Amino acid sequence: MSPATSATGAHTAALAAITGPEDLRRLPAEALPDLADQIRRFLVETVARTGGHLGPNLGAVELTIALHRVFDSARDALVFDTGHQTYVHKILTGRAEAFATLRQEGGLSGYPSRAESRHDLIENSHASTALSYADGLAKAAALRGPAGRRVVAVVGDGALTGGMSWEALNNLGAAPHRPVVVVLNDNGRSYSPTVGGIARHLAALRGGSGATTVFEGLGLAYLGPVDGHDTAAVEDALRAADALGRPVVVHCLTRKGRGYAPAEADDSDHMHAVGVIDPGTGRPVRPGGPTWTSVFGEEVTALGAERPDLVCVTGAMRLPAGLGPFAERFPDRVYDVGIAEQHAVTSAAGLALGGLHPVVAVYAAFLGRAVDQVLTDVALHRLPVTFVLDRAGITGPDGASHHGMWDASLLPVVPGLALAAPRDCARLRELLREAVGTADGPTALRYPKAAAGPDIPTVRRAGGCDVLREDPSARVLLVAVGPMAQPCLEAAADLAAGGVPTDVVDPRWCAPLPAGLCALAEGRDLVVAVEDTCTTGALGGRLAQALANRPRPPRVLTQALPPRFLAHASRDRLLAEAGLDAAGIARRVRRHLAA
């Protein structure tokens, strides 16, 4: 669908004429306010149909227009932190036609994508990286060229709560001969309101305090604050910054959700990320039932009422990680440290040293930033810290940098850490209670971004594992890790109907390996461990190693995600492609029994 002929007919020729930044630069200044309005209407209409990051992009319209009028993204290095604020950049670089496929399989990515466009230099879905990229790009330009290439980093104020940003600013400020333009898109929020001393400093600058800025103290020039919704003012500031020929911060003030009444009225996150919505009201078209996240939120709040020593830590994701109910009831026991996972983990270690039991709620994909802290700051001291890893496994339309594919491969190497994967809501509640009841070391729970299905009953418990299906004649065992239980049960029923009796067991705790799991697997003809994590380091390999020296070791296979970055598509589609649906599991068993 052309942006000039949307379903509402609202878009006019100005937006339709933009096939690339060169068209934008040819527009007269008086045409830009109308173009910004058209882009906002286009974003609301298209994102309402596909879901995506709406609020951040509504707030970055004029700023992005100004960026592309001053700089040439086909030649200059233009990097965004974070990548979810690049929808307007995509529109202005010729991808408006593709927005009907946003976040759909084979369609437009919700983040920068090098495969999509030469205008996308880096691929990122998390914060606090752009300034380090910019530092390296500026150094490379000084050594290798091309001559005259300008380096621009667009950084949200929330990204400044991350330590990497300050490591980069420390280096940028020490090299006044290497020009980098840092565009600070300050809307006072990441997912939630920006926290900490940096937030207070930026608030003072917004108020025109006249104080020396922290950026100037580090050696960068500072321009602003500038109205980020005044294209001409932003253009003037960017041109002035470029003319300085040194590292400089251009401080732009914007409003998340700008121009869309439902987003502006949403004080929780200004519609940061939405599913399919009614564009007129902003309300979900298909309201969902309980999710894994909401069940966690209920149970951790119940535990908080029972345990005054229980506290929660999160990195700018209090609501997305399910801590809203806990924070409402126990506001003094929730610590949002900003987008700073390394600090979150070591701060949690300090809380544990002080006699508390912290629950660190983060996305599985983002815990990778803090593996060293988990290892040496928490586990080395045998501290009781519980990590709750949301969005584990396949996240679906968010794509390669968001899939939580690595935590269940990385965490088993941490000495003394126990990792659990609940198969249903009842087990999530049960395992969370067991985790926070552990006093001699760290624990972790992982669960997917998905609706919570029905509870799956246990036939019996054996050696810490739940036997979900049992046949005395079964020579095949499916080890169903967490939410893989349902497809394993369906596969077992299919196999049994075809004359292959098959047992199914849920290990509950997948690291370290439960002793009972080895006992249940011993003597089988075939054991298939099914897990929504990367194949490398998955439970199947560890189980095979543990059984290798047994008198009659079974053949152990791993059915998991391939060890590569996976593109965006629906969760069900990606799981099926990896053989992690009932048909794929049954097919794998039959193929190996026939070999």
Crossing angle for the helix pair 32-50 and 231-244, to the nearest 10 degrees:
100
Q: Which helix (H) or strand (E) holds 361?
A: strand 357-363
Domain count of the chain? 3
The Cα 387–Cα 360 span in angstroms is 5
Q: Which residues pair with 236 in a beta bridge?
A: none
> Minimal CA–CA distance to 56: which of 259, 200, 330?
259
Residues 93 and 174 placed together within one structural domain of the fold: yes
Residues 256 and 311 placed together within one structural domain of the fold: no
Residues 410 and 512 placed together within one structural domain of the fold: no
| Binding site as annotated, residues | 84, 125-127, 157-159, 187, 260, 341
The Cα 240–Cα 250 span in angstroms is 9
Q: Which amino acid belongs to residue 158? A: G
Cα–Cα–Cα angle for 8, 10, 16, nearest 5°? Answer: 115
Contact 488, 478 (CB under 8 A): yes
Crossing angle for the helix pair 32-50 and 61-70, to the nearest 10 degrees:
120
Is 505 contained in some domain? yes
The Cα 161–Cα 318 span in angstroms is 15
**How does 323-335 read in b/e, with b if 16+ C-beta sit within 10 Å?**
bbbbbeebeebbb
Q: Burial level of 177, CB count in 10 A (0-12/13-18/19+)? A: exposed
CATH number at residue 346: 3.40.50.970
Is 550 contained in some domain? yes
Is 398 contained in some domain? yes
pLDDT digits (tens, 9 = 90+) for 283-316: 998 767 789 999 999 999 999 999 999 999 999 9
Residues 37 and 108 placed together within one structural domain of the fold: yes
Crossing angle for the helix pair 231-244 and 61-70, to the nearest 10 degrees:
40
> Minimal CA–CA distance to 431: which of 374, 365, 386, 380?
386
> Minimal CA–CA distance to 7: which of 49, 67, 63?
49
The Cα 564–Cα 16 span in angstroms is 37
* Domain boundary, last residue among 228, 249, 265: 265
Residue 241 is encoded by which pair of tokens? Answer: 């910054």
Positions of the chain with pLDDT lower than 50, given as ranges: 1-11
In a 3-state reduction of DSSP, which class is residue 291? strand
Is 141 contained in some domain? yes
Residues 189 and 333 placed together within one structural domain of the fold: no
DSSP state of 84: G
In 397-464, where do the E strands start and end? Answer: 418-420, 443-446, 460-462
The residue segments making up the domain with residue 569 are: 460-594
Active site amino acids:
256, 341, 369
Is 452 contained in some domain? no
pLDDT at 257 (0 to 100): 94
CATH number at residue 527: 3.40.50.920
| Binding site as annotated, residues for thiamine diphosphate | 84, 125-127, 158-159, 187, 260, 341
Contact 76, 83 (CB under 8 A): no
Residue by residue, DSSP assigns 218-283 as TT-EEEEEEETT-HHHHHHHHHHHHHH-S-EEEEEE--TTTT-HHHHH-TTTSSSSB-SB-TTT--
pTM of the predicted model as reported, rounded to 2 decimal places: 0.93
The Cα 107–Cα 433 span in angstroms is 41
pLDDT digits (tens, 9 = 90+) for 459-512: 999 999 999 999 999 999 999 999 999 999 999 999 999 999 999 999 999 999
* Domain boundary, last residue among 414, 446, 478: 446
Residues 325 and 357 placed together within one structural domain of the fold: yes
Residues 123 and 240 placed together within one structural domain of the fold: yes
Q: Which amino acid belongs to residue 513? A: L
Residues 417 and 476 placed together within one structural domain of the fold: no
Is 29 contained in some domain? yes
**Sheet strand arrangement including 386-390:** 334-336, 310-314, 357-363, 386-390, 443-446, 418-420, 509-511
DSSP state of 19: S
| Binding site as annotated, residues for Mg(2+) | 157, 187
In a 3-state reduction of DSSP, which class is residue 582? helix
pLDDT at 93 (0 to 100): 97
Is 280 contained in some domain? no
pLDDT at 486 (0 to 100): 97
Residues 127 and 202 placed together within one structural domain of the fold: yes
Is 403 contained in some domain? yes
pLDDT at 6 (0 to 100): 41
Residues 85 and 188 placed together within one structural domain of the fold: yes
Residues 155 and 13 placed together within one structural domain of the fold: yes
Residues 441 and 498 placed together within one structural domain of the fold: no
Parallel, antiparallel or unpaired: strands 460-462 and 465-469: antiparallel
Q: Which residues pair with 226 in a beta bridge?
A: 252
Residue 228 phi, psi dihedral angles, 5° rounding: -70, -5
pLDDT at 479 (0 to 100): 98
